[in-house]
Structure 1
Amino acid sequence: MADIQKRLQTLSEEFTKLQQELQTAIASRQKLEAQKTENIGVQKEFEKLKDEETIYKLVGPVLLKQDKVEAEGTVNGRIEFIGKEISRLEGQIKEIQAKLEKIKGEIVSIQASAQGAGQGGGEAVKA
């Protein structure tokens, strides 16, 4: 019986750890989605600009003049990078969720078998 309790404790700790990892991954994904939305907004603003219009980039406390092609390239690169990171995190989230389901199944199985053994043992004492 002590082995079962020990195994349940280990599984429970692992489950809690995975839940925390899942929350962290979801928070990171949400942050990336916000960044992607912001960069898409910037990309749409660039589309409205004429080629001869000036673009400034904020670097620390200073605004620096920037070429439109360079600025568009930077934003497009960011959007692409963020998209890849989101895909990577989605894969990580699915993997963590699968591990959680597996551990949950193990916990339920151990509890059910322990409960069944407890009931069987109790009946033997009654007789």
Structure 2
Amino acid sequence: MGDLQKTMQGLSDAYQKLQGELSTAVEAREKLESQQQENTTVSKEFDLLADDANIYKQIGPVLLKQDKTEAVMAVNGRLEFIEKEIKRFEKQIEEIQEKSEKVKMEIIQIQSQAQQAQATAS
């Protein structure tokens, strides 16, 4: 019975670790989605501006004038990067969920074996 408990403890620890990793990955994806929403809004605002409109970029405490095409390219570049990162995190989340499900099934299997062993011993 001692080996069974050690195995269960190891699986339980692995499951908890996977759940922590999953939580971290989900938080990161949510943060990226928020950034994506902000940048999409900025991109839509750029579409409404005239080509000769004044656009300023904040760098530290200073506002620097920026060309509209530069600003649009920067925002579009950020959106592409964010989209790639979101896809990467979604893949990571999927992998963690699969691993977590496998560990969960192992735990259930060992618990049922333990219950059968107890029933047989009784």
Structure 2 residue runs without a partner (length 5+): none
Quick check: 1:11 aligned with 2:6? no
User: Aligned partners of 1:52 and 1:85: how far apart in 2?
Assistant: 33
Q: CA deviation at 1:100?
A: 0.7
Match of 1:125 in 2: none
User: Aligned partners of 1:45 and 1:59: how far apart in 2?
Assistant: 20
Match of 2:104 in 1: 104
Structure 1 outlier segments of 4+, above 3 Å = none
TM-score normalised by the chain length of structure 1: 0.95
Match of 1:61 in 2: 61
Quick check: 1:45 aligned with 2:23? no
Quick check: 1:119 aligned with 2:122? no
User: Aligned partners of 1:6 and 1:26: how far apart in 2?
Assistant: 30
Q: CA deviation at 1:121?
A: 1.3
The RMSD of aligned alpha carbons is 0.4
Look up the SS of the partner of 2:57 in the other structure.
strand
User: Aligned partners of 2:5 and 2:94: how far apart in 1?
Assistant: 29
Structure 1 residue runs without a partner (length 5+): 123-127
> Whose radius of gyration is greater, 1 or 2?
1
User: Aligned partners of 1:7 and 1:52: how far apart in 2?
Assistant: 68
Look up the SS of the partner of 2:56 in the other structure.
strand
Number of residue pairs the alignment of both structures matches:
122
User: Aligned partners of 1:98 and 1:36: how far apart in 2?
Assistant: 27
Question: 1:21-72, CA deviations, whole angstroms, 9 ceiling, x for partnerless residues?
Answer: 0000000000000000000000000000101111000000000000111100
Look up the SS of the partner of 1:53 in the other structure.
coil
Letter paired with 1:59: I
TM-score normalised by the chain length of structure 2: 0.99
